[in-house]
Chains A and B, each alone.
Chain A
């Protein structure tokens, strides 16, 4: 099969997210009902979910979700992991067979922690150690794709409509305080399992509607810093930009938004001097991470969620709040189906990041 980047398919997408600020854990049923309202925005070539707070019993271990094309790729990957990590638990991810999802790879889950002496010898922190190992698997082991590798979170994705992907992975059996979803309508490239959204590195996940005109410039920039764009799709690069800016450059998410969806120079010129200096600095310092073209994204991470539009707002994005729960979606109807009477519904402006965080941890 030809993969991303090798063919071009002309054609939209749907994204949504639910975040419980009080840390209340809800099943995947709500996010499934939400994304399924936007069925017509996808075409069955990809669907997926990210969930946070789903592995409380293993919350101190990195949860690896991995796709394998073959038994040999699994064996090779497990040998690779064995040398670097203590594997606490491993199993197939439970699935529910459905005729609407076919050609599934082997889908495995591992709970791991870096081997202490290996970690010490590497002189890295455990996040960097783990992310490098995962990038290496994606890069060098044929037929193995790390789908997610954060703590107390996981990505569930496949080729199919999102509601069918939800059934396939039995997401109604997981409980999390934060959920994002994606329904895919690939515009430039075919759908394949690892190319579905969300894209993820460590606990960071991204679902995206749009297409990135600056993809190649962004890709070249992140690849200078040790990332490897081998899923050959534009959204992947957003994940690495965010990981680089937050984890390696220490930027806050609002600043990341001001880099990726930087205001126009004419807009910056109208700000007061301090703001002008700050925004100019971010634009100049991180110019290679400016993301152009239409996009709306929902970013999940441990303890929070961010929604962001491109600066021209060329894709739709609606936000709503009801009590301690915050909703984001491509369409308001997808929020109304699970929350008919929100306290507030609003449409964030282009480049205006909406960031929500846990207020109290767990119940």
Chain B
């Protein structure tokens, strides 16, 4: 792994499994090339981390603020317990992405996945926004099994017209109308698209569905009361 500083920005190249890169970073810009190891950008607290390559497991764990943008894929347990900031993954992500993401006052965690995700997406979601675009997987399954199980706040948006397989009956699924798309999705997706030089129009094209907790179900009240 090589480290150089160009115009005040840190550039790491030739990464091969080194853990904890960008962990707890508060400010600045970090460029990572290669295949960084587990726990990349965990506890990220500000600044921007750009990765040119695939990432492994436990990326952006408990991230608090800032931006992580990966021009590649991510492994399992991405953005676990994320509390704020933005995580953009251009490709696919593994199992258990966005588990127990949160929002608090002005802090809202945002996770956007360009490809598809593994099972247990947004499990126990407590707040924030997850958007899965499924680019290149149109018409196919983009989330696997048990999407949103146990979630009690926050919203999962999927760019598909199809309900995820065996979606829990404790969740409400609705089709996203143009007004909501323009107000909620467009600003985030445009930012995602510009980060990776994608066509925002394409990323926003087609049907979107939203998944949220059914507040009328008792267990939701139980969780919400905590």
Contacts and interface: CB of A to CB of B under 8 A. Distances in A.
Interface residues of B, number: 24
B16 A350 contact: no
A333 B35 contact: yes
Given A37-B17, A333-B37, A334-B17, A313 B54 contact: no
10 contacts: A38-B17, A40-B19, A266-B166, A313-B118, A316-B94, A333-B16, A333-B17, A333-B37, A337-B16, A350-B118
Given A331-B38, A336-B35, A347-B73, 7 more contacts: A264-B145, A316-B56, A316-B57, A333-B37, A337-B17, A347-B75, A349-B119
Contacts of B47: none
A347 B92 CA distance: 9
A313 B93 CA distance: 13
Nearest to B16: A333
Contact of B95 (A337, A345, A350): A350
Interface in A249-285: 264, 266-267, 269-270
Contacts of B48: none
Contacts of B94: 313, 316, 347
Interface in A319-346: 331-334, 336-337, 345
A318 B73 CA distance: 12
Nearest to B92: A347
Nearest to A335: B35
Nearest to B91: A345
A313 B37 contact: no
Interface in B85-107: 92, 94-95
A339 B150 CA distance: 40
Nearest to A337: B16
Nearest to B38: A331
Contact of A350 (B38, B92, B119): B119
Contact of B54 (A312, A337, A345, A350): A345
B144 interface: yes
A270 B163 CA distance: 13
B61 interface: no
Contacts of B34: 336
Contacts of A267: 145, 165-166
B45 interface: no
B165 A270 contact: yes
Nearest to B165: A270
Nearest to B17: A333
Q: How large is the interface on A (under 10, 10 to 19, 20 to 34, 35 or more residues)?
A: 20 to 34
Nearest to B95: A313
Nearest to A267: B145
A37 B166 CA distance: 39
Nearest to B15: A333
Interface string B118-149: 11100000000000000000000000110000
A314 B44 CA distance: 24
Contacts of A331: 17, 37-38, 56-57
Interface string A133-146: 00000000000000
Which residue among A38, A266, A316, A345 has the maximum number of chain B CB atoms within 10 Å of its CB? A316
B70 to A, nearest CB: 13
A351 to B, nearest CB: 10
A350 B96 CA distance: 12
Interface in A277-312: 312
A347 B118 contact: yes
Nearest to B55: A332
Interface in B14-53: 15-17, 19, 34-35, 37-38
A60 B15 CA distance: 45
Contacts of B118: 313, 347, 349-350
Nearest to B19: A40
A337 B73 CA distance: 18
A332 B119 contact: no
A210 to B, nearest CB: 13
Contact of A37 (B16, B38, B76, B144): B16
Given A332-B35, A336-B34, A347-B94, A313 B119 contact: yes
Contacts of B76: 313, 316, 347
Interface string A17-44: 0000000000000000000011010000
Interface string B51-93: 0001011000000000000000101100000000000000010
A313 B117 CA distance: 13
Contacts of B145: 264, 267
Nearest to B93: A347
Given A331-B37, A331-B56, A316 B75 contact: yes
A38 B37 CA distance: 10
Nearest to A263: B145
Nearest to B145: A267
Interface string B159-185: 000000110000000000000000000
The 3 closest A-B pairs by CB, nearest first: A333-B17, A333-B35, A313-B95
A336 B94 CA distance: 18
Contacts of B37: 331, 333
Contacts of A350: 95, 118-119
A266 B37 CA distance: 35
A265 B19 CA distance: 37
Contacts of A334: 17
Nearest to A316: B57
A316 B94 CA distance: 9
